[in-house]
């Protein structure tokens, strides 16, 4: 049977890069979004509300995908609401597809909040998980919408007989306008504002993150990991961590980013301001920058998500990720993290999202 993929969240960082990877490998690829149209040659767009069963049934009535890749989520005010909505989206989609009996594999991307706790209790002071984090670590005794999403996949797999894979990424670096978790573009916008203001690129995070070891996940390597797990029998029914494969300290990478933008930088100082605070009044300056350089997006909140970048950079602990399971099963891809950021910045300039 020809591989036919349905990507939930094809307009996001993970979903869009996955669509490109699947199309490059000659997969028939559908992207489902709630409202947006994804402009990607070869991608078949579908619009549906995953919280509305009738909407889903109508949108998918002619579709019989062999593979489902779930890369979408919605943020609500509390973790209880996050669980209800995000678990519900997974459950509804797999329920609608169940009678078709076409699905062979379902993949779900989550992240390190699996190990560090949900938004409501994320890496709080006094919490020290064993690092590097490993997939065999037990779930935390906390409500977490990632757990709810996983449980929906497990239940549907037992009911319908498909295989599954879980992909736990650490800070995905890639491009997607309007994305809620977008560190790379957020830092590019912040650096561009610093350059325009002739001010220093000031570190907004914790001392532990500044001096500690970290890693990130390039969206391209995440896409390759999705494809690998979906087509490697030995990888079936496993949860994996997925990162670039190198490690770094922010005290080094922050300087690299400053040098790319040709701006001064300042490292960690005690009682520093968060990035969300630093960028609170930057809407007006960004509008001026966008007009001056004829950029395609003048609304700052469509590009930058400083609140989420703060979750990473202000953690009171260092965090890195163990990828031994993937390596043992044959996934050998590697990505240099500095190049991940530089490649993203180059693309943002080429597409006139930030000044060149």
Query: What is the spatial distance between Cα 117 and Cα 77, in angstroms, rounded to a whole number?
Result: 15
SS3 259: helix
Same domain, 201 and 154: no
Same domain, 186 and 100: no
Same domain, 189 and 164: no
Which of 111, 137, 169 delimits the end of a domain?
A: 169
Same domain, 22 and 151: yes
41: DSSP letter: T
Dihedral angle over CA of 95, 98, 102, 103, nearest 10: 50
- The pTM for the full model equals 0.95
Nearest to 83 by CA among 148, 153, 18, 160: 148
97: DSSP letter: H
Same domain, 200 and 70: no
Host H or E run for residue 110: strand 105-111
Same domain, 165 and 192: no
Ranges under pLDDT 50 in the chain? none
Query: What is the spatial distance between Cα 124 and Cα 108, in angstroms, rounded to a whole number?
Result: 26
Burial of 317: CB neighbours in 10 Å, binned 0-12, 13-18, 19+: middle
- Is 32 in contact with 89 (CB distance < 8 Å)? no
Same domain, 193 and 83: no
Query: What is the spatial distance between Cα 105 and Cα 130, in angstroms, rounded to a whole number?
Result: 31
Same domain, 183 and 132: no
> Which of left, alpha, beta for 131 (phi over 0: left; psi -120 to 50: alpha)?
beta
Q: List the domain range (segments joined by +) for residue 140.
A: 4-169
CATH number at residue 161: 3.40.50.720
Burial 245-280 (b: 16+ CB within 10 A, else e): beebebeebbeebbeebebebebbeeebebbbebbe
Is residue 241 domain-resident?
no
Structure tokens at 1: 């049977």
Nearest to 209 by CA among 310, 277, 110: 310
Structure tokens at 276: 């969300």
Number of compact structural domains in the chain? 2
Same domain, 54 and 109: yes
Predicted pLDDT of residue 36 = 76
Same domain, 188 and 92: no
Q: What is the largest CA-CA distance in the chain?
A: 60
Query: What is the spatial distance between Cα 264 and Cα 353, in angstroms, rounded to a whole number?
Result: 22
∠ Cα 261 265 316 (to 5°):
115
The residues annotated as belonging to the active site are: 113, 146
Is residue 66 domain-resident?
yes
Predicted pLDDT of residue 125 = 60
Is residue 104 domain-resident?
yes
Which of 110, 140, 169 delimits the end of a domain?
A: 169
Is residue 16 domain-resident?
yes
Same domain, 124 and 13: yes
Is residue 240 domain-resident?
no
Same domain, 53 and 189: no
């Amino acid at each position: 049977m020809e591989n036919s993929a349905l990507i939930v969240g094809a307009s996001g960082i993970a979903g869009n890069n996955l669509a490109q990877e699947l199309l490059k490998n000659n997969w028939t690829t559908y992207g489902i979004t709630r409202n947006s149209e994804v402009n990607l040659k070869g991608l078949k767009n579908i619009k549906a509300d995953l919280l509305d069963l009738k909407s889903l049934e109508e949108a998918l009535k002619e579709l019989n995908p062999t593979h489902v890749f779930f890369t979408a989520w919605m943020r609500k005010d509390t973790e209880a609401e996050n669980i209800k909505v995000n678990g519900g989206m997974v459950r509804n989609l797999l329920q609608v597809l169940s009678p078709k009996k076409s699905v062979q594999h379902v993949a779900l991307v989550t992240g390190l909040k699996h190990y560090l706790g949900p938004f409501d209790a994320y890496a709080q002071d006094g919490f020290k998980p064993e690092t590097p984090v490993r997939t065999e670590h037990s779930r935390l005794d906390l409500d977490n919408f990632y757990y709810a999403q996983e449980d929906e996949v497990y239940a549907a797999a037992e009911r319908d007989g498909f295989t599954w894979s879980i992909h736990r990424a650490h800070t995905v670096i890639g491009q997607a306008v309007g994305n809620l978790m977008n560190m790379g573009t957020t830092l590019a916008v912040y650096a561009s504002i610093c350059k325009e203001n002739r001010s220093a690129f000031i570190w907004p995070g914790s001392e532990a993150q500044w001096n500690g070891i970290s890693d990130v996940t390039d969206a391209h390597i995440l896409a390759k990991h999705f494809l690998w797990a979906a087509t490697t029998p030995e990888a079936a029914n496993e949860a994996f961590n997925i990162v670039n494969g190198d490690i770094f300290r922010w005290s080094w990478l922050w300087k690299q980013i400053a040098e790319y933008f040709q701006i001064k930088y300042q490292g960690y100082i005690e009682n520093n301001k968060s990035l969300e605070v630093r960028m609170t009044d930057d809407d007006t300056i960004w509008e001026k920058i966008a007009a001056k350089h004829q950029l395609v997006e003048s609304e700052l909140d469509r590009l930058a998500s400083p609140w989420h970048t703060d979750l990473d950079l202000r953690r009171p602990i260092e965090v890195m990720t163990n990828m031994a399971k993937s390596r043992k099963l044959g996934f050998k891809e590697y990505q240099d993290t500095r190049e991940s950021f530089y490649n993203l910045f180059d693309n943002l300039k080429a597409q006139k999202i930030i000044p060149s």
